[in-house]
Copies of this chain bind each other. A is one copy, B any other.
Amino acid sequence: MYKAKVIVTLRPSVFDPQGKAVENSLKSIGLSSVLDIRIGKYIEMEIETESYQEAEQVVIEACKKLLSNPVMDDYNFTVQEIQSERSIK
């Protein structure tokens, strides 16, 4: 059993209106030292595969097909093995 942590961010060249809105909100509540904000997605998934390589492939396929927009987004991830009930036995 593997656990993947994926971060999907807008490419630096893409304008981030959500980030801009949050930045303005923070300034309006007095946090004027925040200069720039960009907002992305964080995804945690558990994957049941035989090997680390297979788990990585599943994450890449999930990112390419569903989690990220290939035109606007970048993604990066880490995969680590975790103890599952099955592997403890």
Contacts and interface: CB of A to CB of B under 8 A. Distances in A.
Interface of A: 1, 7-9, 19, 22-23, 25-26, 29, 31, 33-49, 54-55, 58, 61-62, 65-67
Could you say how many copies of this chain the assembly holds?
2
A43 B47 CA distance: 25
Given A22-B67, A42-B41, A67-B22, A35 B47 contact: yes
A33 B66 CA distance: 15
Nearest to A44: B38
B41 A45 contact: no
B45 A58 contact: no
3 pairs of A and B residues whose beta carbons are closest in the complex: A40-B42, A42-B42, A36-B46
